[in-house]
Each structure stands twice: as C-alpha cells, then as structure tokens.
Amino acid sequence: MISTNNLSLRFGKRILFEDVNLKFTEGNCYGIIGANGSGKSTFLKILSGEIAPTTGSVDITKGQRMAVLKQNHFEFNEFQVLETVIMGHKPLYDIMKEKDALYAKPDFSDEDGMRAGDLEALFGEMDGWNAESDAATLLSNLGVPEENHYRRMDELDGNQKVRVLLAQALFGNPDILLLDEPTNEIDLDATMWLEDFLADYPNVVLVVSHDRHFLDAVCTHVVDIDYGKMTPYTGNYTFWYESSQLALKLRTEQNKRAEEKIKELQEFIRRFSANASKSKQATSRKKLLDKIKVEDIRPSSRKYPAILLNNMVRELGDRVLKTEHLGAVQNGEVLFNDVTIEVQKGEKIALLSRNSLATTAFYEILTGNNTQYTGEYQFGVTVTTAYVPIDNAPYFEGVDMSLVDWLRQYSEDKDETFVRGFLGRMLFSGDEALKQAKVLSGGEKMRCMFSRMQLQRGNVLLFDEPTNHLDLESITSLNNALQEFPSTIIMTSKDHTLVQTVVNRIIELTPNGVIDKWMPFDEYISDPAIKALRDEMYETTTV
C-alpha cells in the first residue's frame, strides 16, 4: 500500500495540488487523469521520491518495492536492452556496476578485495546470478525477440522500446507499479497485452494516460487532478467523464433548482452503476459505483488551446515533392525501399509503416537530419516545410531559457508581446510564459512545438505522432487545425479519428516498396485486397 498525507506541491506561486490524502491499495488500478500540465507526472515523481513535495509525506508499506515506467521513452537510448531491464531493480544494478568497476581497476588493492567480497555476498542474496536470465524471460514474454536483447535501445522502434521499458518496470515483480503514459508508443497488440496484464496484476498500480479506451479497460478507480485538488472516484474513465459533463450541463442550467440537479445526478449514478455491474469489469475484481457522492462530482475546467497553422509564408505551387527509389537501412535492417512518389498541392497524406523507425527515418531524411539514404528526393521551389518530430527532447532538455525566450528563437519578430501572443494561445499566459522550457510537461512541450511550427510558417507540414502526450482538448484543437489547413500535410499518427478525418491519401512504406492509395483511411485498412498486399509487402526482408 502507498498513501499520501497532506501532500501539496507548489512551483512558485502556482499550486499544482494541496491537501492530498489518498490511499492506494493492493489489487486496484488507479487511473491518474488531468489536463496537460495539471501535475500527473509530478505526482508520480513525488510518490517515487524523485522530487520532494512542498509539504506532507508519502508512506509505503515497509519492505515494499516500487517500480516506475517513465514518460520519456528516449532516456535509456545509449544502453543495451538487457541492461536497461535490470536497471529496473536499482539496488541490484548499482551493485553490479560497482563490482564491474572494481574488477576493471588496474591497481586492485586489498581494500578493493574486501569490498568486492561484500558486494558478491549482497549480489547473491538478491539472486543476482539469475538477473540476466530472468530479464531475458520477461522480455520474451513481452514479445521482445532474443535477437533484440543485446541491441542498443536506440536501435529499437518505439513499440519494442516501450516493451523493454515495461519489462524494466516489471522486473522483479514490484509491489507498487507506477506507469506514466504506457500506451503512447505501442501498437494495438501491445496495448491489449498490457490491458490484460494490468487487469490481473495483484499489486498496486497507478497509471497516467490520456487514452480513454485503455483507462476504461484497466482502471478500478480514477483520480482527477483539477482545481488544485486530487479527487478520487470509484469507477472507470467513462463514468468520470459522463458525470463531469452532466455536472457542467447542470451548472449552466441556471434556472433549475438545486434539488432537481441533485436528483438528476443521482439518477445518472444509479443508471451508470446498473450498466457497469453488468460489464465484464464489474464481474471480475472491479468495484461497483456505490460509494459515489453527488457533491463529489464537478465539471472539469479543461481548456482548448488555439492551434492555428494557417499563416503560411506563401502559397504552395503545384509540385510539392518528388522521391525516386528512396530507401533507408538501419543497423542492417531495411526500413523502406524503392519509394517513388509525387506529392501535389492540397494532398493530406497519412504516412504509415508497421515499423515506426521507417516513418521516422522518412521524415528525418526529408528534413535533412538523416543523410543515410539511397535514391533521391526533391521539394518544389515554393515549399517551406515545418516539422513536429516524434522526439522533441533535444529542443528542451537542459535548456536554460524561459518559454518566451525559447519561442523567440524561432520568431523573426523578437518583440515580447508578439511572442507572448503565440504562447497565450497555447494556454501559457502571465507567469506561466516565464517558466523554464526544461520543466514543461509532455503535453506542454507538444503545445510549444506547435507554436514553433506556427512561427515557421510552413506550407508543407510534417507531423510524426503529434498526439503523443496530448490531452483530449488539445487533440481536438489539433484535429480541427489539420482539417482546416489549406495546404499539404504529411503525417503519422496512431490516433485513428485524426487520420480518418484529415487525410485523403495513404502512403505505406515497406521494405519491398511503397503502397500508395488515394482513399480514406478506414477504407484502406478494411479493404481485403489491400490487406493481402500489405502482408505480402512486409514478408521478405532482404538486405
């Protein structure tokens, strides 16, 4: 069990949350929800001891071990896969490292010998000799094939990488599992595997996610961060969402009397509980919604950022992009090959591949960041590209700059009021615009990348997974902006609705060439002939 006592956290004048007194107990899975920047990751960091709260404390049942899946999936890039998994058990990993360092010393002293002896003993107690084989078994169970175990993390695609990071978190069966956005980079299969896994996990699980479907599948409880408070609800995400929407509706119906409103909410809870108890969840270990009090339910205060992409530097000419036999190989693996396409004005393209390294490599080549390719590509003379990459860490990590200064770098007009206008639309106003770029939350970084994109004034926009980390309000704004954008877009996204409502052409990169169709996404993925073609195109990979 893990509990918090009068926990509060402030950054300067801003209160993220206060008076948090919550208990998280065995067998339950708690979904931590809230808008981008509301403090979800910060809350998990406090629980794991990574940062200290302003006031209050965290209690963990004695002897229990906690493991964490972090939001930054690029953090272990330079480590080997097996080692990354073992790092999940920090005490064990530290001993391994110290031992290795001792044995590597050219002048190994008696003192070193004593220390090495102590370490060997501790290592044995922790079952260290089996660590590698345990880690390997876990990886294989998670669908990471053996040929990947000795590769470096940055050689894996996002989907494999998150499986490794999950293995890291699960290594040694932690009593308390903290997962920050676990489904961000994984495919549907892996998400479903994780849903099943968490549904049966007997210990304490806290999970942060913006994925409604996933939250509904795994959560027994929801904790909403809003108004500087953390409010727990028994039940899943849909229940929280429907009830807060209803509360909002009732609030705006000024002329209704208080008793009527309460009655309506009670009726809602009753109906919802009745449905929930028939569902699969309620029949397993999920609890009924009997403990909910009407006064607990409040409308959500979430806001929509104003994502505006329509300030192109100039009108796009007819010819946008031409590639000839474009191909890329990474670490001996063919990512894509023989891609010959022509892109015209007004096309909105979904760029797909079963291997996300392929789509990412394609964007990196087009933007001049990756020169390891064969074949050719050429943009039309009128083209100005603007790009939101999948990994934005290089733009923020260790950057000692306020948000105003950060964004000013990308603006021709250096005037503070001008720059602040862009930040304001992305919901950073007043003091918020003066905070350091490096402290931003995952979703806030994305919003800043959209501001940067606006300032680049591109007429060809490239997006590699733009909805990662975004809350629903931001996804809605992005979706509208992409629909309204009058010029060319090439994008890759796991958000089905986004792709379906924006694109008019599908380009799929495979090791054996390209599949290129002018049709809606739904049609593309449901057409049996295309499905057969896709299976065939991925089949044989030759170097």
Ligand X SMILES: Nc1ncnc2c1ncn2[C@@H]1O[C@H](COP(=O)(O)OP(=O)(O)OP(=O)(O)O)[C@@H](O)[C@H]1O
Question: Would you tell me which residues interact with Mg ion (CB under 5 A)?
Answer: 41, 441-442
Please report how close the Cβ of residue 48 comes to ligand X at its closest, in angstroms.
13
Number of Cβ atoms within 10 Å of the Cβ of 186: 23
Which class for 5: exposed (0-12), middle (13-18), buried (19 or more C-beta within 10 A)?
A: middle
Please report how close the Cβ of residue 180 comes to Mg ion at its closest, in angstroms.
6
Of ligand X, Mg ion, none, which one sits near residue 37, judging by CB under 5 to 8 A according to partner kind? ligand X
Q: Which segment (31-39, 144-152, 301-309, 526-534) binds ligand X by CB under 6 A?
A: 31-39
Q: What single-letter DSSP state applies at residue 401?
A: -
Residue 65 interacts with ligand X (CB under 6 A): yes or no: no
Of Mg ion, ligand X, none, which one sits near residue 160, judging by CB under 5 to 8 A according to partner kind? none
Minimal CB distance to ligand X: which residue?
443
For residue 94, give the 3-state DSSP assignment: helix
Closer Cβ to Mg ion, 180 or 364, answer by number: 180
Q: Which segment (37-45, 398-406, 408-416, 489-497) binds ligand X by CB under 6 A?
A: 37-45
Please report how close the Cβ of residue 211 comes to ligand X at its closest, in angstroms.
12
Q: What whole-number distance in Å separates Cα of residue 100 and Cα of residue 94?
A: 10
Please report how close the Cβ of residue 181 comes to Mg ion at its closest, in angstroms.
7
Stretch (H or E) spanning 84:
helix 81-86
CB-based contact 345:488 (threshold 8 Å): yes
Please report how close the Cβ of residue 457 comes to ligand X at its closest, in angstroms.
26
Contact string 255-294 vs ligand X (x = CB under 6 A): ----------------------------------------
Please report how close the Cβ of residue 208 comes to Mg ion at its closest, in angstroms.
6
Please report how close the Cβ of residue 8 comes to ligand X at its closest, in angstroms.
13
Closer Cβ to ligand X, 442 or 511, answer by number: 442
Find the binder of ligand X among 4, 28, 29, 41 (CB under 6 A). Answer: 41
Q: What whole-number distance in Å separates Cα of residue 456 and Cα of residue 314?
A: 12
**Extended beta strands in 137-175, E state:** none
Which class for 528: exposed (0-12), middle (13-18), buried (19 or more C-beta within 10 A)?
A: exposed
Residue 36 interacts with ligand X (CB under 6 A): yes or no: yes
- Tell which positions 77-136 bind ligand X, by CB under 6 A: none
Find the binder of ligand X among 40, 89, 494, 505 (CB under 6 A). Answer: 40
Please report how close the Cβ of residue 164 comes to Mg ion at its closest, in angstroms.
20
Residue 37 interacts with ligand X (CB under 6 A): yes or no: yes
Q: Which residue has the tokens 């191909």?
A: 327
Q: What whole-number distance in Å separates Cα of residue 284 and Cα of residue 406?
A: 49
Q: Which segment (34-42, 78-86, 264-272, 514-522) binds ligand X by CB under 6 A?
A: 34-42
Q: What whole-number distance in Å separates Cα of residue 85 and Cα of residue 166?
A: 8
Closer Cβ to ligand X, 313 or 439, answer by number: 439
Find the binder of ligand X among 11, 103, 108, 129 (CB under 6 A). Answer: 11
Please report how close the Cβ of residue 238 comes to ligand X at its closest, in angstroms.
19
If binding means CB under 6 A, how many residues of this protein chain bind ligand X?
19
Q: Tell me the three-class secondary structure of 340-400, residue by residue.
A: EEEEECCCEEEEECCCHHHHHHHHHHHCCCCCCCEEEEEECCCCCEEEECCCCHHHHCCCC
Q: Which residue has the tokens 């876990």?
A: 138
For residue 151, give the 3-state DSSP assignment: coil
CA neighbor of 447 nearest in space, from 349, 339, 303, 326: 303
Of ligand X, Mg ion, none, which one sits near residue 39, judging by CB under 5 to 8 A according to partner kind? ligand X
Of Mg ion, ligand X, none, which one sits near residue 34, judging by CB under 5 to 8 A according to partner kind? ligand X
Q: At what angle do helices 258-278 and 237-252 cross, to 10 degrees?
A: 160
Residue 435 interacts with ligand X (CB under 6 A): yes or no: yes
CB-based contact 210:471 (threshold 8 Å): yes
Q: What whole-number distance in Å separates Cα of residue 197 and Cα of residue 331?
A: 32
For residue 30, give the 3-state DSSP assignment: strand
Please report how close the Cβ of residue 185 comes to ligand X at its closest, in angstroms.
14
Residue 224 interacts with ligand X (CB under 6 A): yes or no: no
Of Mg ion, ligand X, none, which one sits near residue 42, judging by CB under 5 to 8 A according to partner kind? ligand X
Please report how close the Cβ of residue 477 comes to ligand X at its closest, in angstroms.
14
Could you tell me which residues are beta bridge partners of residue 34?
A: 225
Q: Which segment (114-122, 159-167, 247-255, 434-442) binds ligand X by CB under 6 A?
A: 434-442
Amino acid making up residue 141: N
Q: Which residues contact 188 (CB under 8 A, 6 or more apart)?
A: none
Of Mg ion, ligand X, none, which one sits near residue 11, judging by CB under 5 to 8 A according to partner kind? ligand X
Please report how close the Cβ of residue 435 comes to Mg ion at its closest, in angstroms.
15
Q: Which residue has the tokens 């057969």?
A: 532
Pair of tokens at residue 108: 């190994």
Contact string 438-477 vs ligand X (x = CB under 6 A): -xxxxxx------------------------x-x------
Closer Cβ to ligand X, 58 or 294, answer by number: 58
Q: What whole-number distance in Å separates Cα of residue 196 and Cα of residue 124?
A: 33
Q: Which own/partner pairs from 88-91 qualify as long-range (CB within 8 Å, at least 24 positions apart)? A: 88/167, 88/168, 88/169, 88/170, 88/171, 88/172, 89/65, 89/126, 89/131, 89/171, 89/172, 91/126
Minimal CB distance to Mg ion: which residue?
41
Q: Which segment (39-47, 237-245, 417-425, 449-457) binds ligand X by CB under 6 A?
A: 39-47
Please report how close the Cβ of residue 312 comes to ligand X at its closest, in angstroms.
28
Q: Which segment (359-367, 375-383, 412-420, 433-441) binds ligand X by CB under 6 A?
A: 433-441
Residues of the shown chain interacting with ligand X in the complex, contacts defined by CB under 6 A: 11, 16, 34, 36-42, 435, 439-444, 469, 471
